[in-house]
């Protein structure tokens, strides 16, 4: 098996472990004596909805997915909307979801299917805010350099559906949330901004993040944030007395599945972590240093070995951006740091099948891509956040199409043993 095929096999194993269709059935609750409605949003929600109907038959309800990620269901309505920038389709669908769950009574069940991407897809602005306000907020957050959990604090407090407010709308019905984690730490309150779980963050936390990252929030948005309805429902709210959340897939399980494939191939796996954050390019440099230590000194493991990691890095835009996302930028930072290292190969992909602004899942760095590459052009691409164009030029893109799951980023670095 070539290094490229080996790394792709690890990525495939990670995706298989996070397939909602196989994960959902074991976590389904018992049907109630009243109505059952299925609602939700996220990159995996259509596949989750299919799994529900495979077990229960046609159901009523609505889930929101990114454009191009729709799948056929018998009864559940699938709405495509924009991600990561909210649009009218997501706004209208979010309002429809709120209306659906508001009609439920104490004998009914709201089955909520939540996965990464749901925060942008299911957009219902708080107060008198508009869709344009939500789009501006999204832009400001993406440019701020804030981590995903910090972004979600602001999103929750400026939303009519996030931060537990969907659960408030569904009460007094029973609420069971099946969720796929795409966030470091697997906190349900962070996944898709936690629409059905209590929120422990406060308006004061949101204001502190605005100050820390110098986010230029317009005055009218700040007024809504600090107004009488700014605080989100916390753990003491009665809506959560009959609510529970079940995590059906998470990054660690996917990393472990990849590790098992590596072991079977005679390569020692080292899982570095499922919650690695920070600037993508800097994380790439750090990983290159660890790989070099394995190659030169056999520490912390002897080659052949593969370093496996997950999490969600950040790209802070410092110039007019080119094409790409955090996985390809991570790999470009790695490639520049490991440029002269033989027998080191790496892959970095988003498990949802789309890395940033383009339609590739990520990229791969091999001996073959390096022979086609120009180092000065690589430096220029990194400076311009244009990793997609660089890897496209060296045939290094990884393309999967929509995977209908999302357990965040997957990275694997293979260090081969030296020839005897």
Q: What is the pLDDT of residues 7-25, one digit of tens each?
A: 999 999 999 999 999 999 9
Summarised one tens digit per residue, pLDDT across range 203-240 is 999 999 999 999 999 999 999 999 999 999 999 999 99
What value, to the nearest 5°, has the Cα angle with vertex 9 and ends 258 and 343?
95
Helix axes 148-157, 203-212, angle to 10 degrees: 130
In whole angstroms, what is the distance from residue 227 CA to residue 35 CA? 36
Q: How confident is the model at residue 96 (pLDDT cuts 50, 70, 90)?
A: very high
Top-confidence residue, 138 or 262: 262
| Amino acid 140: pLDDT | 92
Residue 371: asked if its preceding bond is cis (omega within 30°), the reply is no
User: Rounded mean pLDDT of 49-62?
Assistant: 98
For the chain, give the percent of residues with pLDDT over 90: 90
Q: Is 318's pLDDT higher than 90? A: no
CATH superfamily of 31-249: Glycerate kinase, MOFRL-like N-terminal domain (3.40.50.10180)
142, 326 contact by CB (below 8 A): no
| Amino acid 283: pLDDT | 97
310, 253 contact by CB (below 8 A): no
In whole angstroms, what is the distance from residue 119 CA to residue 163 CA? 10
Q: How confident is the model at residue 85 (pLDDT cuts 50, 70, 90)?
A: confident
User: Rounded mean pLDDT of 331-354?
Assistant: 97
391, 316 contact by CB (below 8 A): no
CATH 3.40.50.10180 residue window(s) in the chain: 31-249
CATH 3.40.1480.10 residue window(s) in the chain: 3-12+252-415
Q: How confident is the model at residue 321 (pLDDT cuts 50, 70, 90)?
A: confident
At 86 the three-state DSSP class reads coil
In whole angstroms, what is the distance from residue 112 CA to residue 44 CA? 12
Q: Is 256's pLDDT higher than 70? A: yes
Summarised one tens digit per residue, pLDDT across range 147-183 is 878 988 999 999 999 999 999 999 999 999 999 999 8
Q: What is the mean pLDDT of the chain?
A: 95
In whole angstroms, what is the distance from residue 201 CA to residue 196 CA? 14
| Amino acid 322: pLDDT | 86
In whole angstroms, what is the distance from residue 277 CA to residue 319 CA? 21
DSSP characters for 6-48? HHHHHHHHHHHHT-HHHHGGGG--PPPSS-EEEEEESTTHHHH
Q: Which CATH number fits domain 3-12+252-415: 3.40.1480.10, 3.40.190.170, 3.10.129.10, 3.10.180.10?
A: 3.40.1480.10
Q: Is 319's pLDDT higher than 90? A: no
User: Rounded mean pLDDT of 253-277?
Assistant: 97
| Amino acid 394: pLDDT | 98
Summarised one tens digit per residue, pLDDT across range 179-198 is 999 988 899 999 999 999 99
What is the pTM assigned to this prediction?
Answer: 0.91
Q: Is 419's pLDDT higher than 80? A: no
| Amino acid 375: pLDDT | 97
Phi and psi angles of residue 85, each rounded to the nearest 5 degrees, phi first: -95, 120
């Amino acid at each position: 098996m070539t290094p490229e095929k080996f790394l792709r096999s690890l990525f495939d194993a990670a995706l298989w472990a996070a397939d909602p269709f196989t994960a959902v059935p074991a976590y389904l609750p018992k049907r109630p004596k009243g109505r059952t409605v299925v609602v939700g949003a996220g990159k995996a929600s259509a596949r989750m909805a299919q799994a529900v109907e495979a077990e229960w038959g046609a159901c009523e309800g609505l889930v929101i997915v990114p454009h191009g990620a729709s799948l056929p269901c018998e009864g559940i309505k699938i709405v495509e909307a924009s991600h990561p920038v909210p649009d009218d389709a997501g706004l209208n669908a979010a309002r429809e979801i709120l209306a659906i769950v508001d009609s439920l009574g104490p004998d009914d069940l709201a089955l909520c299917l939540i996965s990464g991407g749901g925060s942008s897809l299911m957009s219902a602005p708080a107060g008198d805010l508009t869709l344009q306000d939500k789009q501006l907020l999204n832009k400001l957050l993406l440019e701020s350099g804030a981590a995903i959990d910090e972004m979600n604090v602001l999103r929750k407090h400026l939303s009519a559906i996030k931060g537990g407010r969907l659960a408030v709308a569904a009460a007094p019905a029973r609420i069971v949330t099946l969720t796929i984690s795409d966030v470091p730490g697997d906190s349900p309150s962070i996944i898709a901004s936690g629409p059905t779980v209590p929120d422990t963050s406060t308006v004061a936390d949101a204001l502190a993040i605005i100050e820390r990252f110098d986010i230029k929030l317009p005055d009218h948005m700040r007024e809504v944030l600090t107004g009488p309805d700014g605080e989100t429902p916390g753990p003491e709210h009665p809506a959560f007395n009959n609510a529970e959340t079940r995590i059906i897939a998470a990054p660690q399980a996917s990393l472990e599945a990849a590790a098992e494939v590596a072991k079977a191939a005679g390569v020692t796996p080292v899982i570095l972590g499922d919650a690695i954050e920070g600037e993508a390019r800097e994380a790439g440099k750090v990983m290159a240093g660890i790989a070099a230590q394995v190659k030169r000194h056999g520490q912390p493991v002897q080659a052949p070995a593969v370093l496996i990691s997950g999490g969600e890095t950040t790209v802070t835009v410092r110039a007019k951006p080119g094409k790409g996302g955090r996985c390809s930028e991570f790999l470009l930072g790695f490639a520049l740091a490991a440029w002269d290292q033989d027998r080191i190969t790496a892959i970095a992909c988003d498990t949802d099948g789309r890395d940033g602004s383009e339609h590739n899942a990520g990229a791969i760095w091999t001996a073959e891509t390096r022979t086609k590459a120009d180092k000065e052009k690589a430096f220029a691409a990194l400076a311009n956040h244009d990793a997609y164009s660089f890897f496209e030029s060296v045939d290094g893109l990884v393309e999967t199409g929509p995977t209908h799951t999302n357990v965040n980023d997957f990275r694997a670095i293979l260090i081969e043993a030296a020839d005897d």
